[in-house]
Structure 1
């Protein structure tokens, strides 16, 4: 796994030991970023259920100004910190070892809004809908901000949520990316 484009292009990222993390493979990541905009001009990204931090780090490499990484696994957070150091994004990064729901509340209290949110929860748990509703309720996504859901193809995602419109659905075997944009 590596950074595909931008200022940290080619940097190899460390993997989380064990089998509990399913990182987004380079082919999927490359296609995703070609769709949502290959490069960014400032803004904030949230990598929720971050695992290795690969998606948030790719966004930083492509021009996002600041990224917040959330994972409740100690091993994942240690790996994210190592990958942040490898890519030299220490000043543009925050990381928290915290449950996703608690982290969203914490970020809402700080009045943080994101241009880009990656949501890649464990496939074996039903996290997507409750977390999306919480993100919308607490208004964490900027107008015209992008929400990317990574999920197994067997999980049916609503075509729209109040305030979000579905832009694209990308399928890679048993992995699906559903991309939403927040309406103005």
Structure 2
């Protein structure tokens, strides 16, 4: 897999993770163009870490991933070590995304990317946790990748849907913090 700057990333063989397609990845970074440099990026259900790696390549100052699978966490660390430059920081948290969300309480992220397995039941509880722990910065934005036939975006108290983009069988729904 190649990302920004023609960098090659290691991937996990088999079907354990589903990387975000190049088309969707490029579209997201075009939408968020000019907002990645010096941002704090959170990658939920990170897979091989391609989205966080792309954020590092584009100048994010801090990238954090939560990923359940140990082998995937090892791949993320290897990929990010190749890309990160001082003073960029990264951290990979291994574990269930819902269980680990509380460890982020008190931290704020400018950009959050959430890409769970499409058929999972994680969408609403993770969005609620992000709102409850106030993890998304008040000027930040979150993108949720999903199959529009399997999950319909919903507003969550504390988070408002600001737009949705569809790319074939993949949708990106964008959230921002709800104005008081």
TM-score, scaled to structure 1: 0.89
- How far 1:38 moved relative to its partner? 4.4
C-alpha distance 94-121 of structure 1, shift in aligned 2 (>3 A): same
The equivalent position to 2:99 in structure 1, one of 102, 118, 126, is 102
The equivalent position to 1:49 in structure 2, one of 45, 50, 59, is 45
C-alpha distance 11-39 of structure 1, shift in aligned 2 (>3 A): farther
- How far 1:179 moved relative to its partner? 1.0
Partners of 2:57 and 2:84 within 8 A in 1: no
Separation in 1, partners of 2:112, 2:85: 18
**Deviations 1:24-49, CA, capped at 9 Å, x for gaps:** 11111011111123442313111010
**2:3 is the counterpart of 1:3:** yes
**2:68 is the counterpart of 1:86:** no
| Structure 2 counterpart of 1:167 | 162
| Structure 2 counterpart of 1:132 | 127
TM-score, scaled to structure 2: 0.91
Equivalent residues, number: 177
Separation in 1, partners of 2:85, 2:78: 10
- How far 1:102 moved relative to its partner? 1.9
Separation in 2, partners of 1:49, 1:176: 16
Gaps of 5+ in 1: none
The equivalent position to 2:9 in structure 1, one of 9, 13, 17, is 13
Gaps of 5+ in 2: none
The equivalent position to 1:118 in structure 2, one of 98, 101, 113, is 113
C-alpha distance 73-89 of structure 1, shift in aligned 2 (>3 A): farther
Separation in 2, partners of 1:59, 1:88: 10
